[in-house]
Structure 1
Amino acid sequence: MKAKAMALLTVVLLLAACDDKPEEEKGFAGLADDAAHYAQVTPGKTFLFPLDHGAHNDFRIEWWYITANLKDADGQSFGVQWTLFRNALPRSNTAPQDNHGWSNRNLWMGHAAVTSQDEHYAAERYARGGVGQAGVTLAPMSAWIDDWALTSHASVEDPLTDMQLEARGAQFSYRLHLTSSKPLVLQGQQGFSQKSEQGQASYYYSQPFFQAEGSLEIDGKTYQVTGPAWLDREWSSQPLTENQTGWDWFSLHLSDGADVMLYRMRQKDGEPYLTGTWINGDGSTQRLEAKDIELEPQDTTEVDGRDMPTRWSVKIPGKDVDITVEALNPQAWMNLQIPYWEGPVQISGSQKGVGYLEMTGY
């Protein structure tokens, strides 16, 4: 789950020109709003690539999301985040979602951030669909908003094998080359990712095997960096219930070559909805259910006037995993239209490693 997508719902009035004011939002950031006018997520979808790397205009929300855990030649650690979101206005009776010009029903938003042990900077951009400022194309694949872009090389058959990533803000910029020779991963049940006991869900796949190499600039100083990167692709129309207050999402690269995705959907009443995916080094997967996972916050940090759990205990007994996941920079606060916490983490315990953590709704 990606908090940045939720912020799109707060800027509808800014970009929707003369569209009617939306009804009062239900659930966290409106993601429990009625989705009768949009396409629905159901089990059994057959994913088609490269087609599913592109936009799904009949669904209300989707995102293209990259995180990278990077180091320079001196061993200094950094984190990079890049996200593009598409949010559909209510379906028009007379025009398709992807119509050209200002009648286009899509809104776009980009988030970019860099994190070091001492600094965290974030930036955001917005666009209305149909006017050429943002979008996603295939052959070659390109997802962009203004000059922020995730672009594949035209000569490759699979766009996720060779890509270029770039973005900039007032205090930072980065340009990374992403490569992978391993397959993408369907999350949940063959890409059907359930979010609640009531059946809310998304379509969700990842490429957790990217290797990144390139340059990163922070406060005018440039670093040459390398490290693992992770792509998430997700789309839905109503992924949450009114009872869900936010989530804690983890992507973890373990030292033995395995990767792990976990998320905990917190609720006003009752236990959190907890699930995940164990990803072997060859790309084969095992779905993790709540009974397979022990996920508990350990220590908190005061961040922007609220207590955020920036140190976690993660146990997966069936995989002999007993680790501590701790923020590289506890102050990795995304002070954007809707604020949330997101930043790189370091792993210790039964395995070493790195990863990313996102926390919303606190």
Structure 2
Amino acid sequence: ASPWATRQAYMGHFALTDVAGETFHAFERFERGALGLAGAEAEPLRIWIGDWEVGTAAPGGTVTAGSGPDTVPGTVFRLEAAEGPVALDLRLAPSKPVVLQGVDGLSAKGPEPGNASYYYSLTRLGAAGTVTVDGVGHRVRGLAWLDREWSTSALSPGLVGWDWFALQLDDGSDLMVYRLRREDGGTAPYSAGTFVAADGAVTQLDAGDWALEATGSWESPRGERYPSGWRLRVPELGLALTVDPRLRDQELDLAFRYWEGAVTVTGRRQGD
């Protein structure tokens, strides 16, 4: 058999928002899982497509958390990627336990049998390393969010897309919500979310527990129209938030087009 033969194909997306430079960079790779060109290994963790790679760093390391001076011991992930004028070399350390989304990690996306995904999150990781833009390296420190989701199903009939938010608030809490969007602009009942308190306590949110309203829209140069700016309320948590994109154009114009990018969150939590 040819050493090129494989049943595995890999696709990767790499994007970086340069807020100061008002530029959004997005790249895509396809590679076969042969000859070491791309692959995934569990122990030790290593996932790669060319020189884009996620894995575990040397054991025993620490990363200074972006929210304070303390270091976070335990597992440290490394994230390395370079393409065109930008590159990342980061170390990431979780400061909260893994969150299983949905019911024990099974997140239903519709009423049909099997229309679901397995989904877990690390909602707050300390991040430190180097971001390079146009040949200039910048030492960075902050927070990161890791989502892992996989499935074999597509959206239910009548659904045209989804609005997904991963928000880290300055009181140490984190909020994830996703709205499955119907053709008429309404919210499908299988929309859901999760609130993770500063101490790691998890509150599951159903579609009726929160309300999302787009405050504007943006049309890309390719003709796609996206919501742009939102109001998000979670009454039972006393949360009233405004979400605005850092740049309006954060569209990934790749094999399939979608908008995903950095946002600014403002608002209040009742009692704070």
2:38–2:48 Cα contact (<8 Å) kept: yes
User: What per-residue deviation string (whole Å, max 9, x for no partner) do you get for residues 22-80 of structure 1?
Assistant: xxxxxxxxxxxxxxxxxxxxxxxxxxxxxxxxxxxxxxxxxxxxxxxxxxxxxxxxxxx
Could you say which structure has the higher strand fraction?
Answer: 2
Residues 173, 218 of structure 1: 8 Å contact kept: yes
Say whether the 8 Å CA contact 1:312–1:325 is kept in structure 2: yes
Taking structure 1 as reference, are residues 155 and 244 closer, same or farther at Cα in structure 2, changes over 3 Å only?
same
Hey, what's the Cα distance between the residues in 2 that align with 1:286 and 1:333? 31
Match of residue 174 from structure 2 = 259
Size of the alignment, in residue pairs?
A: 252
**Alpha-carbon contact 1:324-1:347 (below 8 Å) kept:** yes
Alignment of 1:53-72 (within 5 A): none
Q: Equivalent residue for 1:182?
A: 96
> Pick from 30, 54, 76: which aligns with 1:162?
76
Correspondence for 1:225: 140
CA distance in 2, matches of 1:218, 1:154: 26
Pick one of 297, 313, 317 that aligns with 2:231. 313
TM-score (norm. length: structure 1): 0.65
- Listed one character per residue, the Cα deviations across residues 196-226 of structure 1 (whole Å, up to 9, x for unaligned) are 2335110100111211111111223322111
Q: Where do 1:102-251 residues align within 5 Å?
A: 102-117=4-19, 118-155=22-59, 161-199=75-113, 200-251=115-166
Distance 1:149 1:261 in 2: 25
1:301 Cα deviation after fit: 2.2
Change over 3 Å in CA distance of 1:156–1:162 after alignment to 2 = same
- The residue type equivalent to 1:218 in the other structure is V
Q: 1:332 to 1:269 in 2, by over 3 A?
A: closer
Higher RCO structure, 1 or 2 (CA under 8 Å, sep 6+): 1
Q: Which residue identity is paired with 1:171?
A: P
TM-score, scaled relative to structure 2? 0.86
Pairwise CA distance, 1:290: 1.2
2:209 is aligned with 1:292: yes
User: Mind listing any 5+ residue stretches in structure 2 that lack a counterpart?
Assistant: 62-72
Contact kept in structure 2, 1:314 and 1:324, CA below 8 Å: yes
Note if contact 2:17-2:23 (Cα within 8 Å) is conserved in structure 1.
yes
Contact 2:59 2:76 in 1 (8 A): no
Query: 1:100, 1:131 within 8 Å by CA — same for their partners in 2?
Result: no
Give the whole-Å Cα distance in 1 for the aligned partners of 2:35 and 2:9. 11
Partner amino acid for 1:338? Answer: F
- Gapped runs of 5+ residues in structure 1? 1-98, 352-362
Higher helix proportion: 1
Q: For 1:168 and 1:150, how far apart are their aligned partners in 2?
A: 12
Q: Deviations over 1:176-200 (max 9, x none)?
A: 1111243111011110101123351
User: Is contact 1:161-1:181 (8 Å) kept?
Assistant: no
Is the 2:93–2:125 Cα contact (8 Å) retained in structure 1? yes
One-letter amino acid of the counterpart of residue 104, structure 2: Q
User: Which stretches of structure 1, 4 residues or longer, exceed 6 Å deviation after superposition?
Assistant: none
- Secondary structure of 1:343's counterpart equals coil
When residues 290 and 132 of structure 1 are mapped into structure 2, their CA distance, relative to the original with a 3 A threshold, is same
Residue 244 of structure 1 deviates from its aligned partner by 2.0
| Counterparts of 2:127 and 2:162, CA distance in 1 | 27
CA distance 1:221–1:155, change in 2 (3 Å)? closer
CA distance in 2 between counterparts of 1:116 and 1:167 reads 16
CA distance in 2, matches of 1:238, 1:160: 35
Letter of the structure 2 residue corresponding to residue 226 of structure 1: R
